[in-house]
Amino acid sequence: MKGKTRRAFILDRDEFVRLSLNKILNKYGFQVEEIEDISQLEKRKKEIKEGMILADLEIEVLERWLPLLRKWNDRFILMSPLVTDELIQRLKKLGIHRIIKKPVEPKFLRRAIREISFPDEVRVPSSVKKGEGSRFSQKGGEET
């Protein structure tokens, strides 16, 4: 029996980043959809419940859409070119628990995806040994 198709919604201004993420996520079995604005997800609750959101958003945009993002916090991965302790603490206070540094490295993305629980639990292939992994970020490397 074939599992459900998982959707990945990508929100990033950089076309090269979107193309790269599209390729990686397709390899992981996701049906990828690029979106231009977080508001496009308001009426896509079922698709998000079976998938994930990968976005590069300014903190002001995050704060504006916080009620919506909190609903999907378990499915949300924030990308940022600059991951600092201050940013991590601010995001934790906002309820954002997954952040990866840009440019996104596939192994860090794979780890973040593996932390997301999907309805029929088909997992992304792991190259991480049992007991290793990161929960929140990879600031200039990785926080374990």
Q: pLDDT tens, 64-89?
A: 998 888 888 899 999 999 999 999 99
Residue 22 resides in a domain = yes
Give the amino acid at 132: E
- Write out pLDDT tens, residues 85-127: 999 999 999 889 999 999 999 999 999 999 998 876 555 555 5
3-state class (DSSP) for residue 143:
coil
- Give the separation between CA 12 and CA 123, rounded to whole angstroms: 25
CATH code, domain with 83: 3.40.50.2300
Residue 89 resides in a domain = yes
Question: Total structural domains in the chain?
Answer: 1
Residue 39, C-beta contacts closer than 8 angstroms, at least 6 positions apart: 65
Residue 130 per-residue DSSP state: T
- Write out pLDDT tens, residues 13-39: 999 999 999 999 999 999 999 999 998
Q: What is the pLDDT of residue 69?
A: 86
pTM for the whole structure: 0.80
Kind plus residue range of the DSSP H or E element containing 32: strand 30-34
Q: What is the pLDDT of residue 134?
A: 42
Confidence grade of residue 133 (pLDDT, cut at 50, 70, 90): very low
